[in-house]
Amino acid sequence: MATVLITGCSTGFGLLTAVELATRGHRVYASMRDTDKAGALREALDTAGAAAQVVRLDVTDPASIASAVDEVLAAAGSIDVVVNNAGVAAVSPVEELAVDELARIFETNVFGPLRVVHAVLPLMREAGRGHVVNVTSVAAFVAPPFMGAYAASKHAIDALGEALAAEVAPFGIAVTNVAPGPYLTAMVAAVGDERAAIDPDSPYAARRHTMLDHHEAAMRRNDDPEAVAVAVADAIEADPPPARVVVPEASTFIVQARGATPPEQLRSMLAQSYGV
């Protein structure tokens, strides 16, 4: 049984991962920025007959992270695994992407996990063991049109995880990057907001609508987001832990295409895939 701290558990992959790990008997500390939004998690845990402790943690606030880590240590005495799951997305053509918006995405998706790693690694080094799991994306390898900000953030956290893995291996600490494809989660509801935010006078407006149609369809095709939670849990329980997991496995070709496909061809494939 491992003590696991997970970020971003109010919805989506974080919620499902918390339930999956709790069901398997792990001691789960499911964190979220606003604990008033823990109702869905608690209902899912009750349905599964499992238990987890809800912890307030805002990955953009170092003081919040320190407080959450102290809370877990006071209750459990150690943190064996941290799952960096909290994340945000945005859809925008690069030309219209505000610097402040890109900074907002990086603040949560890159700097947030880095802050969490800074908080837990000294504890893991002292214990001589530990496991960092980063929930990235297949977008870390191929950047879909109009999702440059999100893809850039996932590229960054994947790269940090790769470097970190080699750095901390001598201390008995493992790093796994889990790269999901698009799945049907609560994020599908945000597609409507993204459509509403499109400026009809933008030269990209029509193709941005088309891209969102294709993206929503892809999420609805992968209608079993629990597969990502299972993949994270399996990685945590594996000995040795895997370096990378792609979910669904069928999306592995996307990751492989990054190095095997000429860039001109890869760009053409992406444009066709998203109808733009």
**So which residues are the catalytic ones?**
150
What kind and span of H or E run contains 11? none
CA distance linking residue 247 with residue 194, whole number of Å: 25
Task: Report the candidate in 75, 82, 107, 90 with the shortest Cα–Cα distance to residue 31.
Answer: 82
- Which residue is associated with the tokens 């998706």? 109
Task: Transcribe 204-246 into DSSP letters.
Answer: THHHHHHHHHHHHHHHHHS--THHHHHHHHHHHH-SSPPSEEE
Starting at the earlier edge strand, list the strands of the sheet with 3-6: 53-56, 27-32, 3-6, 81-84, 130-135, 173-180, 244-247
Sign of CA dihedral 218, 222, 225, 229: negative
Quick check: 58 and 66 in contact, CB under 8 A? no
Count Cβ atoms below 10 Å from residue 114 Cβ, excluding itself: 16
* Amino acid sitting at position 72: V
